[in-house]
Amino acid sequence: MKRDRIIKFLIVSILFLSPIIHSISAISYNTKSIQQIEIIVGPYPQNANTDFIEIIWGTNEKTTKNKVHWGLTLDLGNISSELYEETLLNQNLHIVNLDGLSSSTKYYYKVVSDSIESKTYSFYTTFERNNTVRFIAYGDTRGVWDNWQHASIVANKIEEHKPHFVLHTGDIVNDGKNKSQWVDFFSISQFVHNSTLYPALGNHEHYGISYFRYFSLPHNERWYSIDNGPVHFVGLDSNPRNALKLSQLLWLIKDLRANKQPFTIVFFHHPLYSSGNHGSTLYLRWLWRPIFEHFNVDIVFNGHDHNYERGRVKDVNYIVTGGGGAPLYNVGESWWTIYSEKTYHYCLITANQSKLTFQSIKPDGCVIDSFVISK
């Protein structure tokens, strides 16, 4: 009899406690889920204009309420939300449009996804022609080979300069179809929070979908142009798939013909002039060099060879800047070479309406090459 009462008591206790235990488990599970949500990419600005910019970031889980708090001061004060349709479409990648901005202006921002928020960062809208711009050009980061150690060192030095924006000459990652490598690149490149990044397609991007998801670029995103301050920038696709296309060639001629900026800079991956391992891309030299010379292009930035080299041909400066973190290549000298070195580096450029100042800098701060172009 006593044993029957004990069994009955246990059964009643289990029935009574079961809903409570289930509720506690559910609360614990939900709390755990909330704690697990993280921002794993960004936030970072893209598609900058004089009165418009996009803020992009990625979370490790789907979030439904995604907003950007922004303003002219650290108090922020304005809130813009991701469109419902974009939330459904992108799920873990979030894009918020900010408009009604002023040109040549620094803004502060932070992002919020459900219960989590980022630190406060800043961005610049594009500058008017009469303003001074300061930017970085570099390439070939793809840091898988050493767990992104050298790419991190270069990226950290870039961040110290607080550039308005950054050009990347391609081979951002080792395999553009590997999503985790893109997450790694954004993780080690802290400067992207505060500086709009303008990339070119390298051969290692493999036209992977992540490139076109993570970057929001003008025109068709494979080749495009922007004006920022006194400089006209042209990004091209030098991969065989598009390099010989008549559509890109005609677009390039039309774009440069309409250009009225004091300075013109073109950037793409495969170099016309290189004394490194890969060497010069001769068919591109034959195809594009006459156009660059005819339209008085000031600088052509390339990568592909993992070293630094500056050459000059008929008043056009051809710069190989492939020292962003990939394993270095040997480099020699050729008839066009002004300076070359096997080294990690980045290029810092400052330009106003009458003068462009260029420096190539090692991560230790040593300036290895410099020049000035006056108009």
Q: For the segment 157-192, what is each residue's pLDDT rounded down to a tens digit?
A: 999 999 999 999 999 999 999 999 999 999 999 999
**pLDDT value for 37:** 87
Phi-psi region of 371 (alpha: psi -120 to 50; beta: other; left: phi over 0): beta
Flag whether 333 is in a domain: yes
User: In terms of Cα–Cα distance, which of 334, 331, 295, 301 is closest to 314?
Assistant: 295
**pLDDT value for 15:** 40
Residue 87 pLDDT > 70: no
Phi-psi region of 8 (alpha: psi -120 to 50; beta: other; left: phi over 0): alpha
Contact 167, 344 (CB under 8 A): no
Cα gap 63→38, rounded to integer Å: 10
**pLDDT value for 89:** 60
Residue 23 pLDDT > 80: no
Same domain, 311 and 361: yes
**pLDDT value for 84:** 60
Which domain-ending residue is among 71, 99, 124? 124
Q: How many CB atoms lie within 10 A of CB 134?
A: 18
**pLDDT value for 296:** 98
Hunting for tokens 């440069």 — which residue is that? Answer: 256
- Phi, psi torsion values for 26, nearest 5 degrees: -65, -40
Contact 172, 148 (CB under 8 A): no
Q: 324 is in which domain, residue-wise?
A: 133-374
Which domain-ending residue is among 97, 124, 151? 124
pLDDT category of residue 85 using cuts at 50, 70 and 90: low
Angle subtended at Cα 255 by Cα 252 and Cα 258, rounded to the nearest 5 degrees = 145
Same domain, 119 and 207: no
Same domain, 165 and 108: no
Same domain, 117 and 168: no
Any idea what the CATH number is for the domain that residue 332 is in? 3.60.21.10
Cα gap 163→195, rounded to integer Å: 6
- Phi, psi torsion values for 12, nearest 5 degrees: -65, -40
**pLDDT value for 83:** 85
Cα gap 304→306, rounded to integer Å: 6
Query: What are the angstrom distances between the C-alpha of 28 and each of 15, 45, 93?
Result: 21, 36, 27
pLDDT category of residue 270 using cuts at 50, 70 and 90: very high
Tell me the pLDDT tens digit for each residue of 7-17: 444 443 444 44
Flag whether 21 is in a domain: no
Same domain, 137 and 207: yes
Contact 8, 26 (CB under 8 A): no
Same domain, 198 and 238: yes
Cα gap 35→48, rounded to integer Å: 33
Tell me the pLDDT tens digit for each residue of 45-84: 999 999 999 999 999 999 999 999 999 999 999 999 998 6
Number of domains in the chain: 2
Q: How many CB atoms lie within 10 A of CB 170?
A: 30
Which domain-ending residue is among 124, 145, 164? 124
Residue 375 pLDDT > 50: yes
CA-based radius of gyration for the chain: 25
Same domain, 148 and 285: yes
Flag whether 26 is in a domain: no
Same domain, 240 and 112: no
**pLDDT value for 36:** 85
pTM: 0.89
Q: Is 156 exposed, middle or buried (0-12, 13-18, 19+ CB in 10 A)?
A: middle
Tell me the pLDDT tens digit for each residue of 299-323: 999 999 999 999 999 999 999 999 9
Contact 164, 197 (CB under 8 A): no
Flag whether 28 is in a domain: no
Hunting for tokens 């502060």 — which residue is that? Answer: 108
Hunting for tokens 């008549």 — which residue is that? Answer: 246
